[in-house]
A and B are shown apart, each in its own frame.
Chain A
Amino acid sequence: VNRLVAASWIVVTVALLAFCAAKLRISTNITHFMPDSSRSELGAVAGRLADSPFSRTMVLSVGADALPTAIAAAGELAGALREHPEVAWVRSSVDDTQLERAFELYYPRRLGFLSDEPESEVPKILAEPALRESAREARRRLSSPAATVFESLVVSDPFGAFQRIVERLRGNEPALRIERGQFVTRDGRFAIVLLGTKGSAFDSARQGQLLLDLRESFDGIAGRLGGGLFLEQSGANRFAVAAETDMRSEVYVIAACSFLGVAALFFTFVGSLRGFLVVSVPPLAGILVATSASLALFGQIDGLTMMFGTSLMGIAIDYSNHLLLHHGLDTSGETGARTARRLRPSLVLGALTTVASFAGLAMTAFPAFREMSFFAGVGVATALLVTLTLLPDLLGFVPPLPARAANAAAGLARTFGSLDRMPRALAMTPLAVGLLAIAALPGLRWQDDMSQLTRFDPELVAEVERVRERVSQPDSGRFVIGLGSDGSAAVALNDRIHERLRGVIEAGGLEGTRSLHTLLWSEDLQRRNLAAVRADAGLYERVDAVFAQEGFRSGSFLPFREALLESSAPLTLDDLQSSPLADLLVPFVFPLGEQVAVVTYLRGSRSPDAIRAAIADLPGVFLLNQRTFVNDVYREFRETTLRQILVGGAFVLGLLFLRYRAWRPVVASFLPSALVAVLVLATLSLAGAPVNLLHVMSLIMVMGMGVDYGIFLVDSANRREDFGPTLLSLLMSCLTTAFVFGTLAFSTQPALHAIGVTAGLGIVLCYLFAPVVVVAMGLLARRDRGGG
C-alpha cells in the first residue's frame, strides 16, 4: 500500500474516531418514533413519565415472624440506604418538618381551600345546620385527649377548614399507617420503606448495582436480627435489571456460539485471521463514517437508530467478502484492483439497491426512520467505497486461500448448476410460494404490544404486584395529562381536570386519583372560596350564636373574626416549590418545553371511555395509557415499515431495470428477496407465531441481502469461473448472518427470538432461492452450465 495513501486513511480514521468520541451523544427520546407533532407532544410527556420520579420510586416491604422485628429491620435498612450514592431519598415515616411547614403554609390560607365549588357549597358549609354540627363535633373533640391543641385551633377555625385540608393530604398518602415511627401496611403485617433513585429506572447498570447493594444490606440485617425476616420489592428498575440480566446472559452464550461459528467458517474457507480482519474493514469504516455524519447532521444519534443502522451494516460485509473470495479463487493471477474493477458493477448495484430499499424509510414522517435511512445509506456507500478503493490493496496481506475453498466453490457450482435439468420444477417454485402465501398470510397475527417482547420471571411479576397492592399504588402507566402555558395556568387546568374526574369517580368509572389538587388549588379558586366566605356578612355573629347555643362561651371566637378580615395571599406553585413540601410536587407537575405539565395518576380505571369523554373539551388535556399509547405507535411504526418495504422495492426494481434493461435478470435479482419475505411471513403464520416490529425490521435486512445475492449471481452467471466463487462467497455471507443473527432464534426472550427467526430462516432461504431463480430464469442455461 502506498505509504501516503495509508497515512491518509489512518489520519481520516483517527480524525473521525476523535470526532465521534467528542460528539457522541446517544439519545433515547421516544419522540423520535412519533409520527407527527401532536403525538410528539404526548410522546414527550410519555417519555418524561417513563422516567419520572414515579417510575424511580421503589417500595420495599419487610416481613418477619413478628412486626417489631420487621420494623427494626426496615429502620436499619432505611438508614443504610440513605448513605447509598444512587439513592435520592428514603421515606420510612412522616417527616415532622414537612408537617410543621404544611401547617404554616396552609393554616393562614385555610378559608381559600373550603370547596371545589365555592359558590354552591360554601353557603351550605356556613348554614346554621352545618355550623351546629361543627359545634357538636368541636365539643366531642374537646373531650378527647387532644383537647388542648384543638381548643387553640377551634377559636380561629370553628367549622374545620384546616381539618378539610389535612384530610385531603391524608387521602393522597399511600395506604399506610405508622407504627413505632415506621410505615407499616394497614394490616400491620409488613414494614414499608419508600425510596427514590437518582438515576433512571432503565439505567440497568446503576440500578443493578443498587439492587445488589440493597440485597446485601438486607441480608446482613436479616442475619443479625433473625426472626424470619424477608424482603420483597416493587419498582420499574427491577424489570429493567431483570430484562437486561436475562438478555445479557443469553447474549453472552449466543455471542460465543456466533463467534465460534464465524471463526470456524473463516478458518475453513479463508484459512486466516487476517482474511477476517481485512473483510471487516469496510463495514467498520461504514459505521464510523455513518456515525460521524449523523452526529454532524443531527447533533446526536438515537439509540435504536444506531442499533438498527449498525445491524443493517452487516450487509456491507458481503461486498468485501465477495471481493476476497473472487480474488482468492482466481487462478489467472489477477491483481486485487483488477478483481475489484471486474466486480464493481455488481457491487455498485448491490449497494445502490440497498440504499434504495432504505430510501423509502427516509420519506416517512418518523424522524427515527429518516435517521436510520441516512445512517444505513451513508454507511453502505462508505463500505462500498472502501471495498473498491482500499480493500484491493489490503488483499495483499491475506494469505492464499486453502484448497478446500476452491473445492467447495466447484462443488456448489456443480450442485446448483445441475438444477437446470428440471427447469419446469424450478419454475413452479415461485408459484408454490405464491399459493402458500395466499393460504397462509390471511392468518398472520400482528403483535404490537411491545411489553410482550420481554419475558419476565412470573415470580418477579407476582412479587411486584403483591408489594404494589400493599401500598395501593396507582395503576402503572395510566395518567391524565394537562399542559398549561405556565405554572398558574397548569394549576388552573388541574382544577378542571380534578372536577371532571370527580364526576367519573362518582359515576363508578374510576376508583380514585392522586393529583396535585390535594396540595394546591388555583389562585382563582382560592379567591372564590374566600370571597364566598366573606360574602356572608353576618357569619361571625352567627357562628358565635350557634356555638353559644351548643355550650360555648360567647365571645370566644374573636380570632375567627380576625381571620375573616386578614388578607393572606393565595398559595401559589412558587410558594410550594420553595418550601420543604417541594418534593411532594415533583410527581405531579414539571416543565415540558415551553409549557408546564400537570399529571393525575389514576387508580382503578374501569372506564377509559368515560374518562376520555369527561376531559374531551379541555384544551391541552389527554388521557394517556402508556402501554396502549406505545403499542399504537409501534403498530403505526410497523405498518409504515411494511409500506416502505414496497416503496423501497419499487426503487430497487427501477435500479435493476436501469442496469439490466431486460426482464429476466431483473426478475432473477429481485424475486428471491420477495419470495423470502412472503415465505418467512407465511411460515410464521402457519406456525401460529405473532409477528412484530422486530420481525419486520429484520426482514428489511434480509431482503437487502437477498437482492445482493440475486445481483451477484446474475452477474457471475455471465462468466463460468465466477459462478462457484460467488456461490461460496454467498454461502459465507449466509452462514455468517445465520451465526450472528440466526442463533438469536434460540433465545428465550421474544425480542431476540423474533430477530433470530427472521434473519436465520430468511437468509438461508435467500441463499437457496437466489441460484434456483437464476437457473429457473434460464440465465445460466445460456452459458456453460458446468460452472467452476
Chain B
Amino acid sequence: MRSRAACALSLALGSCLVASGIAWRDASGSGALTLAELMTRMASTSGVAAQFREVKELKLLVAPLVTRGTLYFVPPDRLARFTSEPGFSALVIDGSVLRYHDDPQGEAIDLSQSPMARAFVENFIVLFNGDREGLERVYRADLRSGEEGWELRLTPRHAPLDRLIEVITMRGDESGMREMVVQDSDGDRTTTTFVAVDANRAFDPEEIDRLFSSGLPLRDDGP
C-alpha cells in the first residue's frame, strides 16, 4: 500500500518535475528545439517560481476537480509544490528526501525510503542534471517543435510507472511551458496549466529554509 501511495505521489511529482523546467527559450531562434537543449536549459536555470491550475478528470467524479497552487524549483535538486485551493497540501523534494503533508501545522510524511518514491526522486535529479540518457532509460521521450511551439511526450518504459501512467505530454512555446497533461492508464486525466512564471527566481537562505525545511510556501503565497 505504501508503494502505491508513493506511486501516486510520484504522479503528482510528474507535474512538478516538468513544470519546473518551464523556463526555456530557443537560443537559435529557429524553433527547432532538441531534447538535449531542453534539458540543458532545465539544468541551467537559477530558479523557478510559478503558479499553476490543475484540472483532474476522474472517472469517479461527474465534474473535474480544480486545484490551484504554487511551485518552486531551486537547482539542482530541490522542488516544492503547494496547493492553496481547495485545500492546503505540500510536496517537497530536498535532495534525496521526499515529504508530503496536507496540514500547515501537521507533520510531514517522509517517503524517502519507499523504493518507488526514491526511484522517482532519482529520475527527477537525473533530469535536472541534464542527464538525457538517464531520462530515456525511464521514459520514451518524443519531442516535436514547430512554429506554434513544442510538445514533449514522455511514455514510461517500465513498471510500476507504466501501469499507472500512459503518457505525460508537455506543451510550450518560446516563452516557456504552458501546459502538461498526465494521462493515467485507468482513463483519468490531469491537466496542469502554468501562469505567472518567474524563470529566473533567486531564493535567499530564509526562503529556502521555509520552503524545504518547514515545508511551507513563501509568505506572499500563504497556505
Contacts and interface: CB of A to CB of B under 8 A. Distances in A.
Interface of A: 93, 96, 99-100, 103, 139-140, 142-152, 154-155, 177-181, 186, 548, 551-553, 556
Q: Is the interface of B mostly helix, strand, loop or mixed?
A: mixed
A146 B62 contact: no
14 contacts: A96-B3, A96-B114, A139-B61, A139-B86, A144-B89, A146-B8, A147-B58, A149-B1, A149-B7, A151-B60, A179-B97, A181-B112, A186-B107, A552-B62
Closest 10 CB pairs of A and B: A145-B12, A181-B113, A148-B8, A178-B110, A103-B1, A149-B8, A149-B4, A143-B65, A146-B8, A149-B5
B193 to A, nearest CB: 16
Contacts of A100: 1-2
B174 interface: no
B128 interface: no
Given A149-B4, A180-B112, A552-B61, 19 more contacts: A93-B113, A96-B113, A96-B114, A139-B65, A142-B65, A143-B67, A144-B83, A144-B102, A146-B5, A146-B12, A147-B58, A148-B164, A148-B184, A149-B7, A150-B8, A178-B113, A180-B113, A181-B112, A552-B60
A179 B56 contact: no
Contacts of B97: 179-180
Given A100-B1, A149-B7, A140 B110 contact: no
A177 B60 CA distance: 33
Nearest to A177: B107
Contacts of A139: 61, 65, 86
A170 to B, nearest CB: 10
Interface string B90-121: 01000011001010000111101110000000
Contacts of A151: 58, 60, 188
Contact of B108 (A142, A147, A152, A177): A177
Contacts of A552: 60-62
Nearest to A176: B107
B48 interface: no
Max chain B Cβ within 10 angstroms of own Cβ: one of A142, A145, A552: A145
Contact of B87 (A140, A146, A149, A179): A140
Interface of B: 1-5, 7-9, 11-13, 56, 58-63, 65, 67, 81, 83, 86-87, 89, 91, 96-97, 100, 102, 107-110, 112-114, 164, 184, 188
Contacts of A178: 109-110, 113
Contacts of A145: 8-9, 11-13, 81, 89, 91, 100
Given A552-B61, A552-B62, A553-B62, A148 B107 contact: no
B86 A140 contact: yes
A551 B85 CA distance: 17
B110 to A, nearest CB: 4
A551 B110 contact: no
Contact of B60 (A140, A146, A155, A186): A155
B58 to A, nearest CB: 6
A144 B112 CA distance: 18
B1 A99 contact: yes
B110 A181 contact: yes
A443 B55 CA distance: 83
Contacts of B108: 177
Interface centre among B5, B9, B61, B109 (most CB of A within 10 A): B61
Contacts of A186: 107
A264 to B, nearest CB: 67
Contacts of B86: 139-140, 143
Contacts of B164: 148
A139 B184 CA distance: 18
A136 to B, nearest CB: 10
Nearest to B165: A148
Nearest to B185: A148
B165 to A, nearest CB: 10
A103 B3 CA distance: 12
A154 B60 CA distance: 10
B61 A551 contact: yes
B112 A146 contact: no
B80 to A, nearest CB: 12
Nearest to A99: B2
B54 to A, nearest CB: 8
A103 B108 CA distance: 21
B156 to A, nearest CB: 14
A559 to B, nearest CB: 11
A143 B83 contact: yes
A551 B63 contact: yes
A178 B111 CA distance: 8
Contacts of B113: 93, 96, 178, 180-181
A143 B188 CA distance: 13
Contact of B61 (A99, A152, A179, A553): A553
